[in-house]
Structure 1
Amino acid sequence: MLRRSADAVPGVRLGTLRVGPVDGAPTEEPGVPPPPSALWPGPLRIGAEFAATRLEPFPALADRLRAALADAAADRLGLRVTEVDLRITGVDQPDEPPEQPSPAADPSDAPAEDRPAGEDTPEHRAASTALAVPGVARLGGAFGGRTGAVRMDHPAPGRPAHVRLELVVSPGHRPLEVARAVRHAVTEALPDRPSVAVLVTALD
C-alpha cells in the first residue's frame, strides 16, 4: 500500500522502504502475544530511499513523497506514524529507463485457505466467524501455508486459549478497523473467550 502511494507521486522512483519503531520512543506492552514479524505498539517511523525521475527541486519532491506516505499510513492503514525520513539516492537519466527494484515477496502469493479442514472445531468456528466480518476478503496463511491461517494455542489448564488469525483485507476497508472487528467477533464466538491476534497478510 505504501509503495502504491509512492508510485502515484510524479517524479519519484521509490527504492528501499522500511517501517519500524521511532528511535528512543517508549514502546507499549502488547495486549496479546504478537504474531511473527509484528512491531510492538508505539509510534512508528517510515524510512525510504528514492531517486528523482525528472529535474526539479529536491525539497519539493521530498515533501510530496513524505505527505503521500504519511497520508497512506494514517488513512489507509491506520498506523501511528510520527516520522517519515527520506534519502534521495540520485537522478535517473531521461534517456535511460529506470531500473525497477526487485518486488518484495507478497504474502498473498502464499497458499491461502478459506476454511480449515475438520468438523466444528474451535479453529473452524474462528475461521467462519472471521470470514463473516465485513472487510475480510479471505484467510491467508503467510507463515504456515494452507494450515497456518488459524492457529490456537492452549496454555496452562484453566487459562483461556489464544487464537492467531492471518487474513487478507478487502478494498475500501482499513486494516486496523477490520482487525479490531475480527478480534472482537472471534472472542465472542468461542466459549472460553480467548485472546485474539490478527495478522493482515495482504490488501486486495
Structure 2
Amino acid sequence: MTTADGRHRADGWTAAVRQRIGLGRLLPLGGPADGAWISERAAVAVLRGAVGGPGPGPVLGKLRISVADPDRSPAPEVEPPPSALPPGPLRMEAAMSAMSGLPLPAAAAALRSALLTAAGQRLGLVVAEVDVRVTELLDTPPVRPTPEPAAVRAARPEGVAGAAAAGVPGVVTLTGVLGNAVHSGPGHVRVEVATDAGHRALDVARAVRDAVAASVEGHPSVAVLITAVVERT
C-alpha cells in the first residue's frame, strides 16, 4: 500500500527530475577560467526574446546550442556542475520561418546577426557559428507568441556563501534545481542563481564567483550556474 507520505515523496522526486530535465544542456559562459554556466532553457528564452520583435521579419523556431568542436574544447579550470558542457566555442542550430517573397539569404543573415549579438551582449556565450535553416514559408505575417515568464525555483540564501551570492547586483534569487542552492565540497563551492535580464549573465556570474570566494574561509574555487534569466516588470 502506498501511503500519503510516500506519494508526496514520489511527487516531489518526479517534480525535481522534470525541473532538471527542463533545464536542457548546461552551456558554458565565457572561458575556461570563468567557472560559469547557464541552462539552455534560460539562454534560449533570452535569445528568442531578443530576435522576436514585431513585423514581418523572420521567426525563430527551434533553437539548439551545442559545443562547436568537443574534441578541441579546453578543460574547465573550475569544477563544472554535473553533466555541464565543457568550455569552448558554441554552435547554434536555428530553424526559421520567413515570409514568402522576401529575400531568404538576407532574412537568414539578419537572424544570424541578431542571435550572435544577443548571445554576446546579453549572455556572454562564445559562439563560433550559427546554422540557420528555413523550415517554413509564410503567406501572412506571423503571430508571435507572448514569451512566458521564466520558471524560477527560488531557494533561501543560507550560510555565508548564499548570503554573499544573494547580495550581488543582478542576482534575483538563489535557485535549487540541482539540489541545494549552495553545494560545498573540499576546496570548491557551486552556487545556483537566477539573474536579472537587465544585467549581462556572465558579468553577474563573475561577480557571484568573486563574492563567494572572498566570503568563504580558504577562498575556494567557485562555479556558478544560472538556471533562469528574469525580466523585471
Pairing 1:60-71 to 2, within 5 Å after superposition: 60-71=106-117
Mark the CA change 1:81 to 1:36 in structure 2 (over 3 Å): closer, same or farther. Answer: same
Is 1:75 equivalent to 2:104 in the alignment? no
Q: Kindly tell me: are residues 14 and 76 of structure 1, through their superposed partners in 2, closer, same or farther at Cα, counting changes over 3 Å?
A: same
Distance 1:141 1:51, change over 3 A: same
Q: Kindly provide the CA deviation profile for residues 160-196 of structure 1, in whole angstroms up to 9, marking residues without a partner as x.
A: 2x21111111132111111111111111111121111
Following TM superposition, by how much is the alpha carbon of 1:94 offset from its aligned partner in structure 2, in angstroms?
2.0
C-alpha spacing 1:37/1:57, structure 2 compared with 1 (3 Å): farther
Q: Which AA in structure 2 matches 1:137?
A: V
Structure 2 stretches lacking a partner, 5+ long: 1-45
- Alpha carbons of 1:81 and 1:140: their partners in 2 closer, same or farther (altered >3 Å)? same
Aligned to 1:113: 155
> Does the Cα contact within 8 Å between 1:112 and 1:140 map onto a contact in 2?
yes
How many angstroms apart in 2 are the aligned matches of 1:88 and 1:76? 25
| Closer, same or farther: CA 54–142 of 1 in aligned 2, 3 Å | farther
CA drift at 1:55: 3.0
2:49 is equivalent to residue 7 of structure 1: no
Q: Is the 8 A contact 1:92 1:98 kept in 2?
A: no
* 2:212 maps to 1:186: yes
RMSD value over aligned CA atoms? 2.3
1:203 Cα offset (Å): 1.1
Q: What is the Cα deviation at residue 136 of structure 1?
A: 1.0
- Equivalence map 1:157-196=2 (5 Å): 160=187, 162-196=188-222
Cα displacement string for residues 30-63 of structure 1 (whole angstroms, at most 9, x for unaligned residues)? 0111113532111111111111145301001001
Look up the match of 1:35: 81
**Aligned twin of 1:50:** 96
After TM superposition, the score normalised by the length of structure 2 is: 0.71
1:83 corresponds to which letter in structure 2?
A: E
Q: Tell me how far 1:114 sits from its aligned partner.
A: 3.0
* Separation in 2, partners of 1:31, 1:55: 49
| Structure 2 equivalent of residue 22 of structure 1 | 68
Task: Please state whether the residue corresponding to 2:109 is helix, strand or coil.
Answer: helix
Distance in 2 of aligned mates of 1:115 and 1:2: 28
Q: In structure 2, what residue type is equivalent to 1:150? A: V
Following the alignment from structure 1 to structure 2, what is the Cα–Cα distance between the partners of residues 24 and 149? 29
Q: 1:131 aligns with which of 166, 182, 185?
A: 166
Task: Please identify which structure carries the higher helix content.
Answer: 2
Contact 1:11 1:54 in 2 (8 A): no
State the identity %: 45
Contact 2:169 2:204 in 1 (8 A): yes
Q: 1:109 to 1:99 in 2, by over 3 A?
A: closer
Residue 181 of structure 2 corresponds to: 149
Deviation of 1:98 (Å): 6.0
